């Protein structure tokens, strides 16, 4: 059985291209008005909650300031991005990837689980064949469950025609300017994940290869987690003697 389904691999590479173009064209769009607001309206920099830097040409698409062309790139790549988000969620629920690999349990959120995940990764990938560790589940779950949907919905809310076809979406974000601010925050959240994802991937080229070939899943049961030391006998399931 493959580790990554064909649907996951196709979405991964199409989505990577879409996000890169969306991010870089979005920086060009940001240069048109480098201030963020909350609510329905925003035009006076004095009312902004954040003043954004001007991004250099090498970081934008196109490589020079052109708001119209940047919007064309942005809207064009928004289609494969949006369809891809819907597609991957249907695929993950259908093939069990979400339930099997990404769904977290309360124990995954404990400090001990987080520390153990970091130690396992730093120890030459020990236990990596047993699936996603708690930190990976939390990160991927945050991206799939929060950042990607937030990017999609906030992007629809700030699109020029949203007031006509989905006014409820603008109200959902308490205003178009609030949606624009959240769109900006989500974009940089995805950028941060993207950087971490790349850094972790290049430390083990097999991870990149598996996302091309699919890899092979090891369905053996994972080893039991280490038990805390020096627990009282009663907590270890041994009757205490009075």
CA angle in degrees (0–180, nearest 5) for 78-84-87: 145
Q: How confident is the model at residue 11 (pLDDT cuts 50, 70, 90)?
A: confident
Highest mean pLDDT among 21-30, 88-97, 211-220: 21-30
- Are 65 and 28 contacting, i.e. CB atoms less than 8 angstroms apart? yes
The DSSP secondary structure of 132-194, one letter per residue, reads --HHHHHHHHHIIIIIHHHHHHHHHHHSTTHHHH-HHHHHHTTSHHHHHHHHHHHHHHHHHHH
**Chain centroid offset of residue 39 CA:** 25
Q: What pLDDT is attached to residue 219?
A: 56
Burial of 54 (0-12, 13-18, 19+ CB in 10 A): exposed
How high is the mean pLDDT of the chain?
84
Cα–Cα distance for residue pair 87/12, rounded to 1 Å: 11
Cα–Cα distance for residue pair 82/45, rounded to 1 Å: 31
* Residue 51, strand partner residues: 35
Cα–Cα distance for residue pair 242/13, rounded to 1 Å: 63
Q: What pLDDT is attached to residue 77?
A: 96
Q: What pLDDT is attached to residue 129?
A: 46
pTM to 2 decimals?
0.79
- Are 113 and 134 contacting, i.e. CB atoms less than 8 angstroms apart? yes
Q: List domains and CATH numbers for the chain.
A: 6-213 (1.20.950.20)
Inform me whether the pLDDT recorded for 231 exceeds 50. Answer: no
Which carries the bigger pLDDT value, residue 210 or residue 141? 141
Q: In the predicted model, what is the mean pLDDT of residues 50-62? A: 97
| CA distance to 227, 233, 234, 235, 236, per residue, from 230 (Å) | 9, 9, 11, 10, 10
Cα–Cα distance for residue pair 126/203, rounded to 1 Å: 14
pLDDT tens-place string over residues 68-121: 999 999 999 999 999 999 998 998 899 888 888 888 888 888 898 888 887 776
- Beta-carbon neighbour count of residue 116 at 10 Å? 17
Which carries the bigger pLDDT value, residue 242 or residue 220? 220
Cα–Cα distance for residue pair 176/162, rounded to 1 Å: 9
- Are 157 and 166 contacting, i.e. CB atoms less than 8 angstroms apart? yes
Q: What pLDDT is attached to residue 163?
A: 64
Look up residue 147 and give its two tokens: 């950042």
Q: What pLDDT is attached to residue 241?
A: 46
Inform me whether the pLDDT recorded for 135 exceeds 90. Answer: no
Q: What pLDDT is attached to residue 123?
A: 58
- pLDDT over 70 percentage in the chain: 83
Which carries the bigger pLDDT value, residue 83 or residue 215? 83
pLDDT tens-place string over residues 144-181: 999 999 999 999 999 877 666 778 899 999 999 999 99
């Amino acid at each position: 059985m493959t580790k990554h389904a064909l649907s996951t691999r196709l979405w991964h590479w199409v989505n990577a291209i879409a996000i890169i173009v969306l991010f870089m064209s979005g920086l060009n769009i940001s240069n048109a008005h480098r201030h963020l607001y909350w609510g329905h309206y925003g035009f006076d920099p004095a009312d902004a909650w954040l003043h954004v830097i001007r991004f250099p040409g090498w970081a934008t698409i196109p490589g020079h300031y052109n708001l119209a062309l940047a919007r064309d790139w942005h809207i064009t790549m928004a289609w494969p991005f949006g369809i891809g988000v819907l597609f991957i969620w249907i695929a993950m629920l259908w093939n069990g990837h979400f339930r099997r690999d990404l769904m977290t349990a309360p124990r995954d959120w404990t400090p001990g689980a987080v520390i153990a995940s970091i130690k396992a990764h730093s120890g030459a990938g020990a236990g990596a064949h047993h699936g996603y560790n708690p930190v990976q589940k939390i990160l991927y779950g945050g991206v799939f469950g929060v950042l990607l949907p937030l990017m999609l919905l906030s992007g629809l809310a700030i699109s020029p025609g949203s007031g006509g076809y989905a006014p409820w979406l603008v109200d959902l974000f308490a205003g178009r300017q609030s949606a624009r601010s959240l769109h900006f925050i989500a974009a940089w959240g995805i950028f941060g994940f993207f950087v971490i994802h790349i850094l972790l991937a290049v430390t083990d080229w097999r991870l990149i290869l598996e996302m091309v070939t699919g890899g092979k899943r090891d369905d053996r049961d994972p080893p039991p987690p280490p038990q805390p030391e020096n627990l009282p006998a009663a907590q270890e399931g041994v009757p205490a003697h009075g």
